[in-house]
Homo-oligomer: A and B are copies of this chain.
Amino acid sequence: MTKAERTRHFIVEKAAPIINRKGMAGTSINDIVEATSLTKGSVYGNFESKDEICLEAFDYLVKRVGADMSQAMSRGTTSREKLDALFSYYISNVTGENNYGCPIMNFGTEADDTNPAVKVKVNKAIVNTQSVFAKIIRAGIESGEFKKTVDADAFAIKAFAMIEGGMWIARLQGSPKQLLLIIDVLKQEINDYCQ
């Protein structure tokens, strides 16, 4: 890893949480300069534009969320336990201190009408996340844990929308109350899936 590669990564690491919090338009190069204690020349020596930083910041955040989700899932053995672990991760993601919301939600809402490149990345992240849910359900069906009649894709779409909506509300209200209710509903539904 060359110096430049390390610096690039360092800049992304510092910039990502700021962009996730303040938005792409709301974050200035100066914000990034201050956060990294570098200079503008140094930042632009490693990146071509602010847009490139935003794109890599989104990739970085999504990768980190994905890693956290995998780690959470690995704590469960059965499909149901894996789903429970995922739910717990989402809840901790809202109740934890240094968290600024789901990057897929934050970048997606801003990029929707303004940044096609980011929009494409967000769409891929949505599909990936939903397929994580669907794969767990399918594994549970194959192992005999869940009924064969369960629609894995439909559950994934529904659960993802509910959780994203619930996290968004929880962050805005400064309370996990509604997210907890939504997670309870999902757990009850998974309970009904069991045979």
Contact = CB atoms under 8 A, between A and B. Distances in A.
A176 interface: no
Given A161-B165, A161-B166, A181-B158, A112 B172 contact: yes
Contact of A110 (B26, B126, B171): B26
A84 to B, nearest CB: 19
Contact size range, A: 35 or more
Contacts of A79: none
Interface in A96-119: 100-101, 105-106, 108-110, 112-114, 119
A168 interface: yes
Given A158-B181, A181-B158, A182-B158, A23 B25 contact: yes
Contacts of A162: 158, 161-162, 165
A149 B182 CA distance: 18
Contact of A185 (B108, B158, B178): B158
A152 B15 CA distance: 43
A165 B26 CA distance: 23
A165 B130 CA distance: 13
11 contacts: A21-B113, A26-B110, A100-B112, A105-B168, A109-B109, A122-B172, A123-B172, A158-B181, A161-B162, A161-B182, A165-B165
